[in-house]
Amino acid sequence: MPRVYLSGEWVRFQRLRGTHDIVGQDAAVFQGIESAAREVFPVFDFEEIRTPVMEERELFTRALGTETDVVQKEMYEFEDRSKTKIALRPEGTAGIVRAYLENNFDKTRGLCKFYYLGPMFRSERPQAGRLRQFHQIGVEQLGAQSPFADAETLQSLTVFLNRAGVSDFTVKLNNLGTFEERQTFKEKLKKYLEPNRAQLCEDCRRRLEKNALRVLDCKIASCRKLIGSSPSILDDLTPESREHFTQVGRLLKRLGIAYQEDPRMVRGLDYYTKTVFEVSHPKLGAQDALAAGGRYDHLIEQFGGPAVGAVGFAVGVERLAMCLTFGEEEKLVPSASVFIATLGEKALEKGFELLSDLRKNAVRAAMDFEAKSLKSQMRSADKAHASFVVILGEDELERGKAVLKDMRNGSQEETPFGEVIRVLKEKVSSHA
Ligand code: HAM
């Protein structure tokens, strides 16, 4: 444990609660997931965007809604030296809308299709699948009005999940209408819940006053019982929203994407309009979604842009990793293809040169500069899961040859120095 001696006592350093070090197998899994994203989303014509992890706090309070849990309880916020109120981004959408408008993409490009990956921060109570620094991979289509865009977005999500190695998921779909339609529904819901106030949990009693819709998201059993027979928002949709919902459903069927309608599904962020969806997976608890998203047709306009629609989603990378299963043989361990073992000072330098040449030739190679005996170097080669070992001693130097050992079958051969790179390149590529 790292520690420093401070004012007469040892102070230890640990990673902050709800954060983790991603290394070894976990890092390999992250890489796999990220490369699936980089493969799939460009095919759907999404280009990468990287926005800052910190933004002005107000961007999030305005975009996500002042009454949301994220804004009320979960943002990491601070004042910088110039007294600007800053927040670490709790999600990616708000920053992307800011970037879209700040770069005038609404005027110069019209439709923008972005994908993103990176860390997000929410001060939640840490537990499995719920972290304070977690990672999202998401997409946003800005300037997209059509239900085709909703279906396309959802398809990119399912293709990505499949490519990343997850198949056993369920897509739930709802339509929350416009802000006006939702207002009518909120009042109706409040009227339904009011007489049963006593059965609601403390939080929901508060939610009833501020935003009755949030009650629908409560996971507590007594509240869920009431929610089960609450009115459906789908009954309050205008023909336009209804038609949007029907169309999205029709298109998803056409694309072969299975989904369940869930008229009681709401999301924890206020910017959604019309389409909302959530992806769940049996490996995650009932509370935790693997991915979520939907339309946010007012957000761009709310920040001074044109009245154009937008739709997107985000997947939780840690949660996605929890849904993957690896057999022992599939474990992705970092491995060096070639290990160079040397004996003696001169051989060490020759080996170092060879190491550099292999790497210049894109052959993954390693060496143990500290090890003294050949035995301990062979142990390091094993630890590095090397497929081939180059052995160089005084003898070999004199003869201008290196011993190449195949670690899978133990066979050895001698190769002249001038040939070593070519031979190893061939061996490694036919071994891969
Ligand atoms: P969200 O539902 O708040 O939506 O989060 C999306 C996903 O991020 C969740 O389904 C979950 O997998 C992951 N996630 C959220 N919080 C945590 C946490 N504390 N620990 C681990 N994973 C977490 C959004 O963030 C929206 N921006 C999605 C979106 C994009 N909507 C439209 N465009």
Q: pLDDT, tens digit, for every residue of 19-76?
A: 999 999 999 999 999 999 999 999 999 999 999 999 999 999 999 999 899 999 999 9
Q: Establish whether residue 122 lines the binding site of ligand 1, counting it when its CB lies within 6 angstroms of any ligand atom.
A: yes
8-state DSSP, 366: E
Residue 228 has pLDDT above 80, yes or no: yes
Cα(287) to centroid of ligand 1, in Å? 12
Q: Establish whether residue 134 lines the binding site of ligand 1, counting it when its CB lies within 6 angstroms of any ligand atom.
A: yes
Q: pLDDT, tens digit, for every residue of 274-313?
A: 999 999 999 998 778 999 999 999 999 999 999 999 999 9
> One-letter amino acid identity for 407?
M
Q: Which of 20, 136, 277, 313 to mutate to test the pocket of ligand 1 (most atoms within 8 A of CB)?
A: 136
Residue 88 has pLDDT above 70, yes or no: yes
Q: Phi and psi of 317, rounded to 5°?
A: -65, -40
For residue 289, give the ligand 1 atom closest to its CA: 10
Q: pLDDT, tens digit, for every residue of 216-225?
A: 988 888 998 8
Average pLDDT on 209-231 reads 89
Residue 334 has pLDDT above 60, yes or no: no
Residue 329 has pLDDT above 60, yes or no: no
* Residue position matching structure tokens 């000072």: 345
> One-letter amino acid identity for 308?
V
Cα(134) to centroid of ligand 1, in Å? 9
User: At a CB cut-off of 8 Å and minimum separation 6, what does 316 contact?
Assistant: 129, 134, 135, 136, 289, 290, 291
* Residues 1/12, Cβ–Cβ less than 8 Å: yes
For residue 136, give the ligand 1 atom closest to its CA: 8
How far is Cα 67 from Cα 217, in angstroms, rounded to an integer?
Answer: 14
Q: pLDDT, tens digit, for every residue of 242-271?
A: 999 999 999 999 999 999 999 999 999 999
Q: Establish whether residue 158 lines the binding site of ligand 1, counting it when its CB lies within 6 angstroms of any ligand atom.
A: no
Cα(231) to centroid of ligand 1, in Å? 26
Q: Establish whether residue 292 lines the binding site of ligand 1, counting it when its CB lies within 6 angstroms of any ligand atom.
A: yes
CA distances for 404 relative to 177, 367, 371, angstroms = 68, 14, 19
Cα(79) to centroid of ligand 1, in Å? 25
- What does the mean pLDDT of the chain come to? 94
User: At a CB cut-off of 8 Å and minimum separation 6, what does 196 contact?
Assistant: 226
State residue 288's pLDDT score. Answer: 85
CA distances for 186 relative to 203, 218, 294, 366, angstroms = 17, 15, 19, 63
How far is Cα 349 from Cα 354, in angstroms, rounded to an integer?
Answer: 9
Write out the H or E segment, with its range, that includes residue 136: strand 133-142
Residue 429 confidence class, pLDDT cut points 50, 70, 90: confident
How far is Cα 244 from Cα 217, in angstroms, rounded to an integer?
Answer: 23
Cα(111) to centroid of ligand 1, in Å? 23
Residue 166 has pLDDT above 60, yes or no: yes
Q: pLDDT, tens digit, for every residue of 94-146?
A: 999 999 999 999 999 989 999 999 999 999 999 999 999 999 999 999 999 99
Residue 431 has pLDDT above 90, yes or no: no
Cα(289) to centroid of ligand 1, in Å? 8
State residue 151's pLDDT score. Answer: 98
Residue 383, both tokens:
């630890």
Share of the chain above pLDDT 90, in %: 86
Q: Establish whether residue 92 lines the binding site of ligand 1, counting it when its CB lies within 6 angstroms of any ligand atom.
A: yes
In the chain, what is the straight-line distance between the N-terminal and C-terminal CA atoms, in Å? 38
Q: Are 9-177+237-322 and 334-431 the same fold in CATH? A: no
Domain range 334-431, its CATH number among 3.40.50.800, 3.40.718.10, 3.40.605.10, 3.10.350.10: 3.40.50.800
Q: Where are the domains of the chain?
A: 9-177+237-322, 334-431
State residue 328's pLDDT score. Answer: 60
* Residues 266/214, Cβ–Cβ less than 8 Å: yes
What is the second-level CATH architecture of the domain 9-177+237-322? 2-Layer Sandwich (3.30)
How far is Cα 134 from Cα 416, in angstroms, rounded to an integer?
Answer: 51
For residue 319, give the ligand 1 atom closest to its CA: 12
Average pLDDT on 334-348 reads 89
